[in-house]
Each structure stands twice: as C-alpha cells, then as structure tokens.
C-alpha cells in the first residue's frame, strides 16, 4: 500500500479531475486495485464507479469488505458475470460481457450521473481484458471515447492495465491521453 499511496499522491496531488493510467504486473494486480480503492474511498472520501471486466461483483465486494473498504460507496458495472441475476443489487449493473461496449458506455454514464457527490471517480479494470474481447481498432476507439467521457464528467479517472499484456501502441496512445501514469512494474 505504501508504494501505491506515495506514488498516487505524488502523481495526482495538484490535479482535481484527472485521468491516471496505472500499469501493473500480474503479481501486484489485485493489491494495487485494492490500494487504489482504499486511497480514493477511505483516504479521500470520494464515491465512485468501478467497471470490472475481470472479476464478478460478488468477489470484489467480499475482497473490499475484508480490507475495510465500504462497497456501498461504489456503483459497480460488472461485465464479467454471464448469468442473469434474479436478485437486483442496488449498487451493481450487470452487463454480461466485455464485448458489449455500448452497454458498458451507457452503464458508465448512468452510474456517474447517479452519484450525488460533485467529486467522484471511475476505475476501469482493465484495458488488457477489453483487448481480449475486442479488435485493436475497436479498443482504441473505445479508449478515445472513454477519455472524452471522463473529461466531460469531470471525474477522477483511473484506467488499469497489465503492462506485459497490453499492446504497446495502445499503451502509448492511452499514455498520451492521460494526465499521469503510475507504472508499478510489468515489463521494460
């Protein structure tokens, strides 16, 4: 947590609304995501939106509770659970697949606008998973769209990716759009 907190604080201290690109190696991935959420929710008291393309809402919720991070302060967009949920969950929108970019876009817009706070965040987890399910050109267009929406919504945007698993051209493009980059390993 210390490395993430210090680096995160250093990178964004003078930025109100920002887009932060976080590249991480697979071994530190889960702890990094948890540390970022802990920083935003418990240290900065900012509610937000968490778009998950990797793990189902239920697993993330359990993990956050075990780390004393209140998941009620987050609206989750779960694009990994493939089953239709019979029980509605107040703070989770189920999309069903990372291929459904239009549905993810609409859900992000609804979730960000549903948060009553003027200060909020959106975490997109993760870019490399998006690239598994979509063509590179489609992912590049979505990244461009996401960048524009994060600026329009005036939120703290955090885009997470595994450095080794992400196309270098896409990574370069995203770095160009970002206000800061937090590199926590994962390659040269």
pLDDT tens for 133-182 read 999 889 989 989 999 999 999 999 999 998 887 778 788 888 888 888 88
Distance from C-alpha of 121 to C-alpha of 16, rounded to nearest angstrom = 11
Residue 4 lies in a domain: no
Residue 7 lies in a domain: no
Residue 69 to residue 72: CA distance in whole angstroms: 9
- Entry pTM: 0.91
Cβ–Cβ < 8 Å for 147, 8: no
- The whole domain housing 176 covers 20-184
Please count the structural domains in the chain.
1
* Cβ 97 vs Cβ 79: under 8 Å: yes
CATH number at residue 176: 3.40.50.300
At 58-114, the pLDDT tens digits run: 999 999 999 999 999 999 999 998 765 546 788 999 998 999 999 999 999 999 999
CA-CA-CA-CA torsion sign (49, 55, 56, 58):
negative
**What is the C-alpha to C-alpha distance for residues 26 and 97, in angstroms, rounded to an integer?**
22
Residue 130 lies in a domain: yes
Confirm whether 65 is domain-assigned: yes
Whether 10 is in a domain gets the answer no
In a domain, 14, yes or no: no
């Amino acid at each position: 947590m210390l490395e993430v907190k210090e680096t995160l604080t250093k990178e964004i201290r003078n930025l109100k609304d920002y887009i932060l690109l976080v590249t991480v190696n697979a071994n530190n991935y889960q702890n990094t995501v948890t540390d970022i959420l802990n920083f935003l929710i418990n240290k900065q008291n900012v509610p937000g939106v968490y778009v998950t393309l990797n793990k189902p809402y239920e697993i993330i919720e359990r993990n956050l509770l075990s780390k004393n991070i209140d998941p009620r302060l987050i609206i989750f967009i779960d694009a990994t659970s493939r089953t239709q949920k019979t029980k509605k969950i107040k703070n989770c929108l189920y999309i069903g697949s990372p291929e459904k970019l239009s549905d993810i876009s609409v859900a992000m817009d609804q979730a960000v606008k549903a948060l009553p706070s003027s200060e909020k965040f959106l975490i997109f987890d993760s870019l490399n998973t998006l690239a598994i399910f979509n063509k590179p050109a489609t992912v590049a267009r979505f990244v461009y769209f996401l960048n524009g929406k994060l600026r329009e919504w005036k939120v703290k945007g955090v885009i997470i990716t595994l450095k080794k698993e992400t196309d270098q051209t896409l990574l370069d493009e995203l770095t160009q759009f970002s206000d800061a980059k937090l590199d926590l390993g994962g390659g040269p």
